[in-house]
Amino acid sequence: MTTSADPVTAVRAFTRFYTAQLSVLREGLLDTPYSMAEARIIFELHHRGSTDSADLRRSLDLDAGYLSRILARFESDGLVTRRPSQTDARRQTVTLTAAGEQAFALLDQRSNEQVKALLKPLTAEEVQRLTAAMDTIRELLGSSPRRDAYLLRPARPGDYGWVISRHGALYAEEHGWGPSFEAYCAHVVAEYMEKHDPQRENAWIAELGGAPVGSIFCVRRDEETAQLRLLLLEPSARGLGIGARLVEECVRFARQAGYRRMVLFTTELQRDAMRLYAKAGFQFIEEVDGDTMGTGAREQFWAMDL
């Protein structure tokens, strides 16, 4: 097994694994007469329509001579036509023929069948994890701008374990907090699940790229007071406005549920969260030496009238 300390080996191992899964190294891709490069050219020509060969070469990063030989063979087999460009006679325009479109249809069908077979043993949750991981790879290694669209949704079964796990892991990493804090979070979540009043309590998960990146809970403290709890935002999702949106949704729900006041408890170390609270209308009330959360940090009490 590779580790994060050996990223080159890890990437190479993943590449070998994935190419083996898709059998891209066989002489004929997807049991067709075409190599991986030839199939990619056919796919590009189908989606682009009539295409300048120089543009095709640049987009696929192919050697000019290699591409020319493939296109010459395709033309001989009746898969493409080549003609001088209308704007520059020194350049060629390449177009798939009807036979070329049939070749594309075969490749497309078999590619879909291959991926469906690959995904068939997986559960819906595992498919979501897989596609989210693929999105992450494309985001980090690709040249396209980062997609900042996110989803805010009510928490559902399976999310609560994630909330506990990520609170424990993230705060251990960022502040050195130990198992006591994770136990505190587990208690909060368990109490919410056992006594949940859907009319006056709610919890939300923020998703980015299909993966959870944030959480927040609105719980009943007394008949007139709601409490904001378990605000979390992954480092990868910070700076996108998600944290402010989570707080806004929590406060909005509390108002609609009929509460007249909302409170929260945090620690002296949560500077970024404090800015969100202040912007939403919360006011700092006091700071004490208590350690009810098991963090060892001084605790703060904030409140706002609704």
H/E/C letters for each residue in the chain? Answer: CCCCCCHHHHHHHHHHHHHHHHCCCCCCHHHCCCCHHHHHHHHHHHHHCCEEHHHHHHHHCCCHHHHHHHHHHHHHCCCEEEEECCCCCCCEEEEECHHHHHHHHHHHHHHHHHHHHHHCCCCHHHHHHHHHHHHHHHHHHCCCCCCCCEEEEECCCCHHHHHHHHHHHHHHHHHCCCHHHHHHHHHHHHHHHHHCCCCCCEEEEEEECCEEEEEEEEEEEECCEEEEEEEEECHHHCCCCHHHHHHHHHHHHHHHCCCCEEEEEEECCCHHHHHHHHHHCCEEEEEECCCCCCCCCCEEEEEEEC
Q: Which SS3 state, helix, strand or coil, does residue 26 take? A: coil
Q: Return d(Cα 43, Cα 51) in angstroms, integer.
A: 12
Low-confidence ranges of the chain (pLDDT < 50): 1-4, 145
pLDDT of residue 36: 80
How many whole angstroms separate alpha carbon 223 and alpha carbon 259?
A: 7
User: Please, what is the Cα angle at 177 between 216 and 175, to 5 degrees?
Assistant: 80
CA-CA distances (angstroms) from residue 210 to 125, 147, 151, 251? 11, 11, 8, 25
Sheet of 283-288, strands arranged across: 150-154, 202-208, 211-222, 225-233, 261-267, 299-305, 283-288
User: Alpha-carbon distance 207 to 149, whole Å?
Assistant: 9
Residue 103 exposed, middle or buried by CB count within 10 Å (0-12, 13-18, 19+): buried
Alpha carbon separation from 148 to 72, 87, 108, 239 (Å, rounded): 43, 39, 30, 10
Does the pTM of the predicted model rise above 0.85? no
Residue 260's contacts (CB-CB under 8 Å, 6 or more residues apart) are 224, 225, 305, 306
Strand partners, 153: 205
pLDDT (0 to 100) of residue 264:
96
Residue 226 in contact with residue 262, Cβ under 8 Å?
yes
Helix (H) or strand (E) holding 305: strand 299-305
Q: Report pLDDT for 199.
A: 92
In the three-class reduction of DSSP (H, G, I as helix; E, B as strand; rest coil), residue 213 is classed as strand
Other CB atoms within a 10 A radius of the CB of residue 251 amount to: 22
